Amino acid sequence: MSSSHHHEETFFQKYIWSVDHKVIGIQYGVTSLLFLLFGFGLMAVMRYQLAYPETVIPIIGQWLFSESGGIMLPENYNTFGAMHGTIMIFLGVVPLAVGAFGNYLVPLQIGAPDMAFPKLNAASYWTYFVGGVVMMASFFTPEGAARSGWTSYPPLSIFESGQTMWLLSMIFLITSSLLGSMNIIVTIVQLRAPGLTWFKLPFFIWTQLVTSFLLVLAFPPLEAAAVLQLMDRIAGTSFFLPSGLVYAGSAVEAYGNGSPLLWQHLFWFLAHPEVYVLILPAIGIVGEILANNTRKPLWGYKSLVYAISFLGFMSFIVWAHHMFLTGMGQTMSAFFQLTTMIISIPSVVVLTAFFISLWGGSIRFNTPMLFALSFLPMFGIGGLTGLPLGVAASDIYLHDTYYVIGHFHYVVAPGTLFALFAGIYYWFPKITGRKLHEGMGKLHFFPSFLAMNGIFMPMFIQGLAGLSRRMYDGGQQYAHASDITHWNEFMTISAFILGLAQIPFILNIFITLSTKKSEDRNPWKSTTIEWSAPSPPLPHVNFESAVEVHRGPYEYSVPEKEEDFYPQTSP
């Protein structure tokens, strides 16, 4: 077998079809950040509509909605809504959290030269890329992009426009995810450096391992369901179409006898573990940054590991809490309510361990730490607001209201996304050899934090008043919403502030990249293995010499030592 680090690599081999996990990680990172920005743009237009219903969208309205004179029509709103969710989750957060952070850091944190299957790794990125292209291309088809919610419930999704491309794209994205997560599991099991036993692994690695198991076992049923829905749309089958349906005034010509519930079960069987896929890498990143910036070990490392493993297992048996209103009997409702309540326990263990980790620490309030610290109360709010949704009785009232939107956005936006920002600030010096500017980082953090709360906190108020989600006019037409629609404008302004707050971040990246590289390969004085590699680590081999691990991942403030950190690889 040829080892390409002995030969001159072409531009294509080095930057396009690279099998180096670091290049692939950056490919995932840049692609997913662009998708996140695009998904944000979709939401910005939606929020404008919600604040000022049926007015002309400024600047881009005439170009976007030329047929309606720049006004967002209901079907446009639905399209933007469905695509916002889909893009943020499947093209944005998961590829960033797993594809970018996972791919870049896992081999480095375990002292390996690369992932177990480098070519497969490249294949998984390009499959994701193709899936992304198909998803974006759907906007430009005559049908337009999907508009049946990211949840794509039949029968609507069988008849609505744009769904076919969505399904095709999902097949590519799911395949990419399966290949990637399999790679991560084998890498962690097989390529740990000598001395790196299981309980010496950084907590981030544990979260990536559990996440990958969730992806491997939970995604395939959705791939199966996507094939079935595709066939319903293009092959005339009726897997999800019950008999006697009438659509747009005429009877549906299909065999019938299908089950819309079947889609919901198959979809949520993935989509629930998916939300833990969204949060676990973030929890891992926060753990790393907390330990580093408190200069003490994470409190309750073993509890954390057992908690997330238990969480991973439980995530497979809670999914029908998304389906409490589908006519389930009491037995199953009670079952899913019980499992959902139980699954909140490991999250509490994680948050508690993180809070206790702060106690007695020498806390450094740098930008990564600010984002990581804010994760704690934000994830706390997100988690707590999930409880009334997990209890079947209260969920009957709150289901499909803005309360749900507030709940999950708190977990994903000021939760996961802040953790990912923290990770970018934290690992930027390892990837590029330069630290991002602290002042601009704080300019990014503080308005973002305020704006996030400004957008999502009022959603609980709106939801409790009974405002339904996915309504293009923000509830203007409903009497029961009249008291709380005024919040829409406040939330929209907060959303625009959030957008503006990202400008220092984007500028920071470009400006910092144009500065000189630093000689300091461990500017945060961290203990984990990736910091012993050069910045950036060497192509294809990462480390200058063989890695040997002699201690745990968080040996900070060890009494006898002069320095307040004792790296894993120090002899």
Partner 1 sequence: MSNESNHAIEHHIQTYIRVFIALGVLTVITVLVSFLEVSFIEAFFLAITIATIKGSLVLGFFMHLISERAAIIWILVATAVAFIILMFIPLISVTDSTGMY
Partner 2 sequence: MSNIPYIIEERPDTGLNNSKLGVWIFLASEVMLFGGLFSAYVFLRLAAPEGDFDYWGAKLNVPMATFNTMLLITSSVTMVMSWASLKLNQFDKYKMYLGITILCAIGFLFVKYFEYTGKFHHGVYPSSSTFMGIYFTLTGLHVLHIIGGLVVLIYLWTRQADKMWKENPDLLANRIEVTGLYWHFVDLVWIFLFPILYLL
Q: Pick from 227, 252, 317, 328 the residue near partner 2 by CB under 8 A.
A: 227
Q: Can residue 252 be called a binding residue for partner 2 (CB under 8 A)? A: no
Give which of partner 2, partner 1, none residue 328 binds (C-beta under 5 to 8 Å, depending on kind): partner 1
- Stretch near partner 2 under the rule CB under 8 A, chosen from 109-117, 498-506, 527-535, 562-570: 109-117
User: Half-sphere exposure of 500 toward its Cβ, with a 13 Å CA cutoff?
Assistant: 10
Q: Is 239 in the site for partner 2 (CB under 8 A)?
A: yes
Backbone angles phi, psi at 538, to 5 degrees: -65, 140
Neighbour count for residue 537 (Cβ, 10 Å): 23
Of the candidate spans 149-157, 252-260, 297-305, 483-491, the one that interacts with partner 2 by CB under 8 A turns out to be: 252-260
Which residues are registered as beta bridge partners of 542?
A: 538
Identify which of residues 147 and 322 has a Cβ nearer to partner 1 in the complex.
322
Q: How far is the CB of 205 from partner 1 (least distance, A)?
A: 17
Q: Specify the stretch interacting with partner 2 by CB under 8 A; choose among 34-42, 45-53, 181-189, 298-306.
A: 181-189
Q: How far is the CB of 147 from partner 2 (least distance, A)?
A: 25
Q: Which of 511, 517, 515, 465 is nearest to 488 (CA)?
A: 465
Which of 68, 151, 164, 259 touches partner 2 (CB under 8 A)?
259
**In whole angstroms, what is the distance from residue 212 CA to residue 189 CA?**
12
Q: How many angstroms separate the first and last alpha carbons of the chain?
A: 33
**Which residues are within 8 A (CB) of 321 and not within 5 positions of it... i.e. 6 or more apart?**
272, 336, 337, 340, 389, 390, 392, 395
Residue type, 484: I
Q: Which residues bind partner 1 (CB under 8 A)?
A: 189, 213, 217-218, 221, 242, 259-262, 265-266, 269, 316-317, 320, 323, 326-329, 331-332
Q: How far apart are CA 22 and CA 115, in angstroms?
A: 10
Residue 340 CB, nearest approach to partner 1 (Å): 13
Decide which of partner 1, partner 2, none touches 320; Cβ closer than 5 to 8 Å per partner kind: partner 1
Q: Tell me how long the chain is.
A: 571
Contact by Cβ (8 Å): 208, 127: no
Which CB atom, from 83 or from 185, has the smaller least distance to partner 2? 185
Over the window 184 to 223, marking each residue x when it contacts partner 2 by CB under 8 A and - when it does not, the resulting string is -xx--xxx------------------------xxxxxxxx
What is the Cα–Cα distance from 475 to 485, expressed in whole angstroms? 7
Distance CA 305, CA 209 (A): 11
Nearest distance from C-beta of residue 278 to partner 2, angstroms: 19
Separation CA 110–CA 200 (nearest Å): 10
User: Binding partner of residue 541 among partner 1, partner 2, none, CB under 5 to 8 Å per kind?
Assistant: partner 2
Q: Distance from CA of residue 413 to its chain's centroid? A: 9
Chosen from partner 1, partner 2, none, partner binding at 225 (C-beta under 5 to 8 Å by type): partner 2
Among partner 2, partner 1, none, residue 223 binds (CB under 5-8 Å by kind) = partner 2
For partner 1, the closer of residues 247 and 316 by Cβ is 316
As a whole number of angstroms, the distance between CA 414 and CA 317 comes to 26
* Closest to partner 2 by CB, 183 or 508: 183
Say if residue 255 is exposed, middle or buried (CB neighbours under 10 Å; 0-12, 13-18, 19+). Answer: exposed
Pairing of strands 250-251, 246-247: antiparallel
Q: Which of 489, 497, 528 is nearest to 287 (CA)?
A: 528
Contact (CB, 8 A) for 94 and 277: yes
Of 532-571, which residues contact partner 2 (CB under 8 A)?
540-541
Residue 316 interacting entry, from partner 2, partner 1, none, C-beta within 5 to 8 Å by type: partner 1
Residue among 9 and 489 whose Cβ is closer to partner 2: 9
**Min CB(332)–partner 2 separation in Å:** 15
Residues lying near partner 2 in the complex (CB under 8 A) are found at 1-4, 19, 112-114, 116-118, 178, 182-183, 185-186, 189-191, 216-225, 227-228, 231, 235-239, 242, 254-259, 261-262, 265-266, 269, 540-541
